[in-house]
Amino acid sequence: MTNRNDESRFLNEYAKVRVDYSGQTLDEADLLSHPLGQFQAWYAEVVDLGIPEPNAMVLSTSTTSGAVSARHVLLKEVDRRGFIFFSNYQSDKARDIQQNPSVALTFSWIAIFRQVLISGVCEKLSDIESATYFKTRPRGAQIAAHASEQSEVLLSRTELEERYVELEREFEGSEIPKPEHWGGYLVIPRSIEFWSGRSSRLHDRLRFISLNPQPDLSKAQDWRIERKSP
Protein backbone atom coordinates (compact mmCIF):
# COMPACT_ATOMS: atom_id res chain seq x y z
CA MET A 1 0.00 0.00 0.00
CA THR A 2 1.24 3.48 -0.87
CA ASN A 3 1.53 5.71 2.19
CA ARG A 4 1.21 9.48 2.38
CA ASN A 5 4.98 10.00 2.31
CA ASP A 6 5.25 8.02 -0.93
CA GLU A 7 2.42 10.05 -2.47
CA SER A 8 4.13 13.28 -1.45
CA ARG A 9 7.42 12.12 -2.95
CA PHE A 10 5.79 11.25 -6.27
CA LEU A 11 3.94 14.56 -6.40
CA ASN A 12 7.19 16.40 -5.79
CA GLU A 13 8.84 14.43 -8.60
CA TYR A 14 6.17 15.62 -11.05
CA ALA A 15 5.99 19.18 -9.76
CA LYS A 16 9.72 19.84 -9.85
CA VAL A 17 9.99 19.24 -13.60
CA ARG A 18 10.62 22.69 -15.01
CA VAL A 19 11.41 23.55 -18.61
CA ASP A 20 11.67 27.18 -19.62
CA TYR A 21 10.49 27.07 -23.22
CA SER A 22 12.70 28.87 -25.69
CA GLY A 23 10.79 28.53 -28.92
CA GLN A 24 10.78 30.98 -31.77
CA THR A 25 8.54 34.02 -31.57
CA LEU A 26 5.22 33.91 -33.38
CA ASP A 27 4.18 37.40 -34.42
CA GLU A 28 1.22 38.44 -36.50
CA ALA A 29 3.58 39.95 -39.07
CA ASP A 30 5.28 36.58 -39.54
CA LEU A 31 2.09 34.52 -39.78
CA LEU A 32 1.09 33.44 -43.28
CA SER A 33 -2.27 34.77 -44.44
CA HIS A 34 -4.05 31.40 -44.56
CA PRO A 35 -3.86 28.35 -42.25
CA LEU A 36 -2.98 25.79 -44.93
CA GLY A 37 0.25 27.58 -45.78
CA GLN A 38 1.12 28.13 -42.12
CA PHE A 39 0.56 24.47 -41.25
CA GLN A 40 2.57 23.26 -44.22
CA ALA A 41 5.46 25.60 -43.30
CA TRP A 42 5.59 24.35 -39.71
CA TYR A 43 5.20 20.73 -40.81
CA ALA A 44 8.10 21.06 -43.25
CA GLU A 45 10.31 22.31 -40.41
CA VAL A 46 9.36 19.31 -38.25
CA VAL A 47 10.18 16.92 -41.09
CA ASP A 48 13.52 18.62 -41.79
CA LEU A 49 14.47 18.25 -38.11
CA GLY A 50 13.82 14.52 -38.25
CA ILE A 51 11.25 14.49 -35.45
CA PRO A 52 9.67 10.97 -35.32
CA GLU A 53 6.10 10.53 -36.59
CA PRO A 54 5.61 14.21 -37.50
CA ASN A 55 2.10 13.43 -38.78
CA ALA A 56 0.92 11.92 -35.48
CA MET A 57 -2.02 13.84 -34.05
CA VAL A 58 -4.31 13.33 -31.09
CA LEU A 59 -7.93 12.92 -32.17
CA SER A 60 -10.39 13.80 -29.41
CA THR A 61 -14.01 12.71 -29.71
CA SER A 62 -17.06 12.54 -27.47
CA THR A 63 -20.40 10.82 -27.27
CA THR A 64 -23.73 12.61 -27.05
CA SER A 65 -23.69 11.92 -23.30
CA GLY A 66 -20.41 13.82 -22.97
CA ALA A 67 -17.96 10.93 -22.51
CA VAL A 68 -14.66 12.06 -24.01
CA SER A 69 -11.87 9.90 -25.42
CA ALA A 70 -8.61 10.62 -27.22
CA ARG A 71 -6.03 8.67 -29.18
CA HIS A 72 -3.23 9.22 -31.68
CA VAL A 73 -4.01 8.80 -35.37
CA LEU A 74 -1.87 9.64 -38.40
CA LEU A 75 -2.55 12.56 -40.71
CA LYS A 76 -2.51 11.26 -44.29
CA GLU A 77 -3.36 14.44 -46.18
CA VAL A 78 -4.18 18.08 -45.65
CA ASP A 79 -5.70 20.16 -48.40
CA ARG A 80 -7.93 23.19 -48.83
CA ARG A 81 -10.87 21.21 -47.35
CA GLY A 82 -9.20 20.08 -44.12
CA PHE A 83 -7.29 17.27 -42.41
CA ILE A 84 -7.64 13.62 -43.50
CA PHE A 85 -7.07 10.37 -41.63
CA PHE A 86 -8.24 6.77 -42.10
CA SER A 87 -9.76 4.26 -39.71
CA ASN A 88 -12.12 1.37 -39.13
CA TYR A 89 -15.74 2.56 -39.35
CA GLN A 90 -16.71 0.16 -36.54
CA SER A 91 -14.12 1.47 -34.05
CA ASP A 92 -14.81 3.43 -30.87
CA LYS A 93 -13.74 6.65 -32.55
CA ALA A 94 -16.10 5.99 -35.46
CA ARG A 95 -19.01 5.39 -33.10
CA ASP A 96 -18.24 8.65 -31.32
CA ILE A 97 -18.06 10.58 -34.59
CA GLN A 98 -21.37 9.11 -35.72
CA GLN A 99 -22.98 10.36 -32.51
CA ASN A 100 -21.17 13.69 -32.36
CA PRO A 101 -19.17 14.93 -35.38
CA SER A 102 -17.52 17.74 -33.39
CA VAL A 103 -13.87 16.73 -32.85
CA ALA A 104 -10.47 18.18 -31.98
CA LEU A 105 -7.00 17.47 -33.34
CA THR A 106 -3.71 18.23 -31.58
CA PHE A 107 -0.26 18.16 -33.13
CA SER A 108 2.31 18.27 -30.32
CA TRP A 109 5.84 18.96 -31.54
CA ILE A 110 7.21 19.58 -28.06
CA ALA A 111 10.82 19.08 -29.19
CA ILE A 112 10.60 22.52 -30.80
CA PHE A 113 7.99 23.90 -28.36
CA ARG A 114 5.15 24.05 -30.86
CA GLN A 115 1.58 22.81 -31.05
CA VAL A 116 -1.24 23.08 -33.57
CA LEU A 117 -4.72 22.88 -32.04
CA ILE A 118 -7.68 22.27 -34.34
CA SER A 119 -11.39 22.06 -33.63
CA GLY A 120 -13.98 21.26 -36.25
CA VAL A 121 -16.47 18.85 -37.70
CA CYS A 122 -15.65 15.36 -38.96
CA GLU A 123 -17.27 13.62 -41.91
CA LYS A 124 -16.54 10.52 -43.99
CA LEU A 125 -14.58 10.76 -47.20
CA SER A 126 -16.09 9.38 -50.38
CA ASP A 127 -15.67 5.66 -51.04
CA ILE A 128 -13.64 6.52 -54.16
CA GLU A 129 -11.09 8.57 -52.18
CA SER A 130 -10.87 5.88 -49.51
CA ALA A 131 -10.35 3.10 -52.06
CA THR A 132 -7.70 5.13 -53.89
CA TYR A 133 -5.71 5.60 -50.69
CA PHE A 134 -6.19 1.97 -49.62
CA LYS A 135 -4.37 0.81 -52.76
CA THR A 136 -1.26 2.74 -51.68
CA ARG A 137 -1.02 1.01 -48.28
CA PRO A 138 1.55 -1.74 -47.68
CA ARG A 139 0.08 -5.19 -48.28
CA GLY A 140 0.47 -6.11 -44.63
CA ALA A 141 -1.56 -3.07 -43.58
CA GLN A 142 -4.25 -3.94 -46.12
CA ILE A 143 -4.59 -7.44 -44.64
CA ALA A 144 -4.62 -6.00 -41.13
CA ALA A 145 -7.56 -3.76 -42.06
CA HIS A 146 -9.53 -6.93 -42.85
CA ALA A 147 -8.24 -8.89 -39.87
CA SER A 148 -8.85 -6.39 -37.10
CA GLU A 149 -12.31 -5.76 -35.69
CA GLN A 150 -10.97 -2.58 -34.17
CA SER A 151 -11.91 -1.84 -30.54
CA GLU A 152 -13.63 -5.21 -30.07
CA VAL A 153 -12.47 -7.44 -27.21
CA LEU A 154 -10.04 -10.25 -28.13
CA LEU A 155 -9.69 -13.50 -26.22
CA SER A 156 -5.96 -13.47 -26.98
CA ARG A 157 -3.28 -12.09 -29.31
CA THR A 158 -3.25 -15.52 -30.98
CA GLU A 159 -6.83 -15.03 -32.18
CA LEU A 160 -5.80 -11.90 -34.11
CA GLU A 161 -2.65 -13.47 -35.54
CA GLU A 162 -4.48 -16.57 -36.73
CA ARG A 163 -7.07 -14.41 -38.46
CA TYR A 164 -4.26 -12.47 -40.17
CA VAL A 165 -2.58 -15.66 -41.44
CA GLU A 166 -5.92 -16.99 -42.69
CA LEU A 167 -6.51 -13.82 -44.72
CA GLU A 168 -2.93 -13.81 -45.97
CA ARG A 169 -3.61 -17.22 -47.53
CA GLU A 170 -7.01 -16.14 -48.84
CA PHE A 171 -5.61 -13.07 -50.66
CA GLU A 172 -2.42 -14.75 -51.88
CA GLY A 173 -1.68 -13.76 -55.48
CA SER A 174 -4.59 -11.33 -55.74
CA GLU A 175 -5.30 -7.66 -55.17
CA ILE A 176 -6.73 -6.91 -51.73
CA PRO A 177 -9.99 -4.93 -51.85
CA LYS A 178 -10.80 -2.17 -49.39
CA PRO A 179 -13.02 -3.51 -46.59
CA GLU A 180 -16.50 -2.02 -46.45
CA HIS A 181 -15.89 -1.13 -42.80
CA TRP A 182 -12.74 0.92 -43.47
CA GLY A 183 -12.18 4.35 -44.94
CA GLY A 184 -11.27 7.98 -44.57
CA TYR A 185 -12.42 10.92 -42.51
CA LEU A 186 -12.15 14.64 -43.24
CA VAL A 187 -11.93 17.12 -40.37
CA ILE A 188 -13.29 20.48 -41.51
CA PRO A 189 -11.73 23.08 -39.18
CA ARG A 190 -13.68 25.76 -37.38
CA SER A 191 -10.54 27.07 -35.72
CA ILE A 192 -6.79 26.37 -36.07
CA GLU A 193 -4.46 27.63 -33.36
CA PHE A 194 -0.69 27.87 -33.76
CA TRP A 195 1.02 27.72 -30.36
CA SER A 196 4.68 28.55 -29.77
CA GLY A 197 6.27 28.10 -26.34
CA ARG A 198 8.04 31.14 -24.89
CA SER A 199 10.07 31.87 -21.80
CA SER A 200 8.28 32.40 -18.45
CA ARG A 201 5.15 30.74 -19.85
CA LEU A 202 4.34 33.84 -21.93
CA HIS A 203 3.56 31.68 -24.94
CA ASP A 204 2.43 32.93 -28.35
CA ARG A 205 -1.03 31.76 -29.44
CA LEU A 206 -2.39 32.88 -32.81
CA ARG A 207 -5.68 31.41 -33.97
CA PHE A 208 -7.45 31.33 -37.34
CA ILE A 209 -11.25 31.46 -36.93
CA SER A 210 -13.42 30.26 -39.81
CA LEU A 211 -15.82 32.82 -41.26
CA ASN A 212 -18.05 30.26 -43.04
CA PRO A 213 -19.22 26.66 -42.54
CA GLN A 214 -17.12 25.26 -45.41
CA PRO A 215 -13.93 27.34 -45.29
CA ASP A 216 -11.13 27.09 -47.81
CA LEU A 217 -7.89 26.63 -45.87
CA SER A 218 -5.94 28.27 -48.68
CA LYS A 219 -7.98 31.51 -48.79
CA ALA A 220 -7.15 34.31 -46.36
CA GLN A 221 -10.62 35.86 -46.77
CA ASP A 222 -12.23 32.77 -45.20
CA TRP A 223 -10.44 33.34 -41.89
CA ARG A 224 -10.08 35.88 -39.09
CA ILE A 225 -6.87 35.92 -37.02
CA GLU A 226 -6.82 36.61 -33.29
CA ARG A 227 -4.18 36.43 -30.55
CA LYS A 228 -5.04 34.52 -27.38
CA SER A 229 -3.59 35.07 -23.96
CA PRO A 230 -1.33 32.25 -22.75
**For residues 23, 24, 25 and 26, what is the CA-based torsion angle, rounded to 10 degrees?**
-100
Mean pLDDT of 144-171: 89
**145 shares a domain with 31:** no
- What's the CA dihedral at 147, 149, 151, 153 to 10 degrees? -100
**Are residues 104 and 203 both part of a single domain?**
yes
44: in domain: yes
User: pTM for the full model?
Assistant: 0.91
- Side-chain half-sphere exposure of 139, counting CA atoms within 13 A: 10
Chain segment 172-190, per-residue pLDDT in tens: 999 999 999 999 999 999 9
For residue 182, the domain's CATH number is 2.30.110.10
Please confirm, yes or no, whether 201 is among the known catalytic residues. Answer: yes
Residue 3 has pLDDT above 80, yes or no: no
Domain assignment present for 11: no
pLDDT > 90 fraction of the chain, expressed in percent and rounded? 82
Number of domains, the chain: 2
Q: How far apart are CA 140 and CA 12, in angstroms?
A: 45
Handedness of CA 80, 81, 82, 88 (dihedral sign): negative
Q: Which residues span the domain enclosing 143?
A: 138-176
Is the pLDDT at 75 greater than 80? The verdict is yes
Whole-number pLDDT of residue 7 = 60
Q: What is the pLDDT of residue 1?
A: 52
Based on the domain organization, do 43 and 118 belong to the same domain?
Answer: yes
Which residue among the candidates 114, 139, 201, 224 is catalytic per the annotation? Answer: 201
pLDDT digits (tens, 9 = 90+) for 29-45: 999 999 999 999 999 99
The pLDDT of residue 153 is 79
5 in any annotated domain: no
As a three-state string, the secondary structure of 10-64 is: HHHHHHCCCCCCCCCCCCHHHCCCCHHHHHHHHHHHHHHCCCCCCCEEEEEEECC
pLDDT at 9 over 90: no
The per-residue pLDDT for range 10-19, each reduced to its tens digit, is 667 777 888 8
Whether residue 183 lies inside any domain: the answer is: yes
**187 & 164 share domain:** no
Same domain for 85 and 128, yes or no, is: yes
Residue 121 has pLDDT above 70, yes or no: yes
In terms of domains, do 168 and 183 share one?
no
